[in-house]
Amino acid sequence: MRIAIPRPANRNHVFALLALIFLFTGIVITALFWVPAGKLKNSLELSPATTLEGLLTNGKMVFVSPEYIPLIPAARRSAMISPGEAALAMKSASEFLKLNRKHRFTHILLSGSPSSRPLLDSLSSTPLWVLTNVEPWGYLFASPGAPTWTLPPRSILEKKYPGAKERTLWMIGTAGNLAAIHHWEEAGQLLDEAEQSRCFPSLVLGARSSIAASQGRWQEALTLSQQALAKDSSNRSARQTLVRSLIECNRTDEALDEARALTNGNGEDQQSLFLLARAANASGSNTEEIEALEKLTALARSDGQPLGVILTYLGQANAKMGRRGEALRAFQLAVVSPELSTQQRAMIREIMDHIMVDEKSSTTLPDVTPEALPGHSR
């Protein structure tokens, strides 16, 4: 028997819930801009190591994304923030402000990974920090007074990256990070330059398809992703964009087939599992949707990612299937997630109250731990 969830009294709560899911979709979209790591990892110039070394040598106090802390020389790490402090600050703007008051950072070096998105959005919307550099590895912010980043002239890029392949990879990777912060014009200029090099045509087409998708031009994104895959069938980010485009173009069965191929043939990552859940939902494969979300929850937890939005999505999917207990357990864990706002938690709590038995308050439920969710041991 399926649960009929009554409509919450406050319609704004419904919209807030949808906004949560859209937020997570945005975080996933950010990840889809990334150039495959194997293409970049062997190039020191395409990592933040040189930039970070220069800042530290000049005595700057730098906030660094957790994944880049290993680049800090061991002798300097004792004076820097810990990985745990960095991870907490990445999830919450208020935690970052506390850390900043303590350390008085002069610079912030963020990766382009999905985990950077909450802090990146916060920094991009405040006059307290200036974006001074964008690279394939991510973003550099500085205190006010520093020069704002502008697209470097081609002559400078040719001098810094004399090899066409390396320069093209820099342009593709940087264009993706620019698109993630809605610098569409600069991203397009870089991809135009990259296309002229005739290096990595599949990656260029894949980046263009991601940008088209992020702007809602779904048919164009579908065509571009297919063209990218025709050039290189192993282009994973292009295939992920293809899945999203097929869903939006209402070709749901094709989308589900492509999403299954992503997770079955090349392993399971957060982006692919999320797309599998979306495709399964669109095709009415509700059990498959829940299984994908359970795996996504376990994987995000093991990676130290915020779980509030994923758990909210999982709670919705379980409630839709009539799995009251599983839905409430997911919502219980979501409602205490630190990255969610007070309003978002109140909205989740209202939905929990609506699916409780005998009109009891959800606050009467016994405490629940992450171990109660399926997939915890994965």
Mean pLDDT across the chain, nearest whole number? 84
d(CA 209, CA 369): 40
Of 188 and 20, the one with more pLDDT = 188
pLDDT of res. 375: 54
pLDDT digits (tens, 9 = 90+) for 289-330: 999 999 999 988 887 777 888 999 999 899 888 898 899 999
Sign for the CA dihedral angle at 245, 248, 254, 256 comes to positive
Asked whether residue 302 falls in the same domain as residue 215, the answer is yes
The phi, psi pair for 135, rounded to 5°, reads -140, 170
Q: Are residues 116 and 229 in the same domain?
A: no
| Per-position b or e across 224-239, b if 16+ CB within 10 A of its CB | bbbbbbeeeeebbbbb
Q: What digits encode the pLDDT tens for the residues 94-108?
A: 889 999 999 999 999
Taking the C-alpha atoms of residue 267 and residue 273, their distance in angstroms, rounded to an integer, is: 10
**CATH number of the domain that residue 279 is part of:** 1.25.40.10
**Residue 79 scores a pLDDT above 80:** no
State which of 119, 142, 165 marks the end of a domain.
142
What residues make up the domain containing 122? 40-142
Q: What integer pLDDT is reported at residue 373 of this predicted model?
A: 60
Does 114 score more than 80 pLDDT? no
Please give the pLDDT value at position 239: 94
Residue 80 in this model has a pLDDT that exceeds 80:
yes
Residue 225 domain flag: yes
- Residue 147 forms part of a structural domain: no
Question: Does residue 21 carry a pLDDT above 60?
Answer: no
The whole-number pLDDT of residue 300 equals 86
> Which residues pair with residue 146 across a beta bridge?
144
Which one has a higher pLDDT value, 93 or 124?
A: 124
Mark whether 243 and 320 lie in a shared domain.
Answer: yes
Q: What is the pLDDT of residues 244-296, one digit of tens each?
A: 999 999 999 999 999 999 888 666 788 899 999 999 999 999 999 999 999 99
